[in-house]
Amino acid sequence: MSLYLFPKTIVAILDKQRRKFFWQGGGTKKKYHLVAWKTICLSKTRGGLGIKDITKMNISLLCKWWWKLETENLLKIREVYLRGRVIQTADGKRILFWKDAWLQNKPICVLHPVLFDWRVPFDRWLPPSMFEEWIDIINTTFSFNFKQQPDEISWKWGGKKIFTTKSVYDHLNQQPKVRSEHIWKAKIPYKGNPSCVFCDQIESVDHLFFQCPVARCIWGMVGSCLQASNVPGNYSQYKQWIEKWLPDGKVVHHFGFAAISWALWKCRNKAVFDNKVIRHPAEILIHACVFLKYWTCLHKEERQVEVLEGVKTLLACTH
Ligand SMILES: [Zn+2]
């Protein structure tokens, strides 16, 4: 009763048995039901006999789970659950607009992280590029072929399309460890053209992430936040630079760099492969802030507020 929501038919069968037992006891002789069952189920103070109403008891017990979810912080695990859940969209009533992969093969919050971060409230001003992104999503949503039947939920991990604890455990267990050194040894794929998409100079790792005018502008904004008098020109300089200007923020030294380089890399790819060019380097820094915010849960709980404050300060530098 505390695990499943009983269907009405089951409740009716159980109540029929209970009524029979109440009026006839163990005997087989049929007896009249002198008072309505509903009245019997009322509390004694309200004129009933205090016999439990199955549906109401069932709901009360299930509510206990919601209470546990909120008070014991189990909602954090929802993200893992949502990653394994697959939704076959039909009438769209069960989908989570931003977090389900219902419109494309990935959730909208993953495809449009900046917009996702800005979504509430949506009455604030959106930069033109983001406004276009939002209009694109609306257009795709309106052209989606919804059907007059309920959405179907299935399970991605484990092969049988149904949820199993084992499938989640196996999935969590197989996450590869990412070592950042590989990133630095990796060659940047040129699309037939070795020049930088932002400035036409030869593209290299140091150029893209540090020496390109776009990168310098971003580091300049970060530097102004930290009251730094210079900007780093490569990764080893970055390590000394951040150590000097943010000595108390060791936890974010790696995260900060990862967020900025990841945002730059994604933006570079969008320009190379989709011909979508940014209007201002600040957009990249906004993206980086979104990543930092998104990754906050990776820090120890006592550090999270500090990191979020840092992200706020950094965001303020983009205006
Ligand atoms: Zn460049």
pLDDT for 316 equals 79
Are 163 and 230 in a shared domain?
no
Q: Give the pLDDT confidence of 215-227 residue by residue, as tens digits.
A: 999 999 999 888 9
Are 271 and 300 in a shared domain?
yes
Vertex 191 angle, CA 187 and 194, to 5°: 70
Are 213 and 308 in a shared domain?
yes
Q: Rounded CA gap, 18 and 37, in Å?
A: 10
Are 84 and 43 in a shared domain?
no
Are 201 and 131 in a shared domain?
no
Q: Ligand 1 centroid to 212 CA: how many Å?
A: 4
Q: Ligand 1 centroid to 125 CA: how many Å?
A: 30
Q: In this structure, how many other beta carbons lie within 10 angstroms of the beta carbon of residue 45? A: 7
Q: Rounded CA gap, 168 and 108, in Å?
A: 23
* Model confidence at 241: pLDDT above 90: yes
Q: Ligand 1 centroid to 200 CA: how many Å?
A: 6
Are 191 and 307 in a shared domain?
yes
Are 65 and 145 in a shared domain?
no
Q: Ligand 1 centroid to 111 CA: how many Å?
A: 25
> Does residue 17 sit within a domain?
no
Are 188 and 157 in a shared domain?
no
Q: Ligand 1 centroid to 233 CA: how many Å?
A: 13
Q: Give the pLDDT confidence of 250-308 residue by residue, as tens digits.
A: 878 888 999 999 999 988 888 888 777 777 888 889 889 888 888 887 888 888 888 88
Q: Ligand 1 centroid to 206 CA: how many Å?
A: 10
DSSP 211: I
> Does residue 25 sit within a domain?
no
Q: Ligand 1 centroid to 2 CA: how many Å?
A: 61
Long-range contacts of 311-314 (CB under 8 A, 24+ apart): 313/225, 314/222, 314/225, 314/285, 314/288, 314/289
Residue 240 pLDDT class (50, 70, 90 cuts):
very high
Are 154 and 82 in a shared domain?
yes
CB-based contact 148:91 (threshold 8 Å): yes
Helix axis angle for 301-316 and 213-226, nearest 10°, is 120
Are 105 and 124 in a shared domain?
yes
Q: Ligand 1 centroid to 98 CA: how many Å?
A: 33
Q: Ligand 1 centroid to 189 CA: how many Å?
A: 15
Q: Is the peptide bond before 213 cis (omega within 30 degrees of 0)?
A: no
- Of 125, 154, 173, the one marking the end of a domain is 173
> Does residue 21 sit within a domain?
no
> Does residue 38 sit within a domain?
yes
Q: Ligand 1 centroid to 117 CA: how many Å?
A: 28
> Does residue 179 sit within a domain?
no
Are 287 and 197 in a shared domain?
yes
Q: What tokens appear for 84 in the block?
A: 């394994």
> Does residue 19 sit within a domain?
no
Number of domains in the chain: 3
Which of 60-69, 86-95, 123-132 has the weakest average pLDDT?
A: 123-132
- Residues spanned by the domain of 108: 77-173
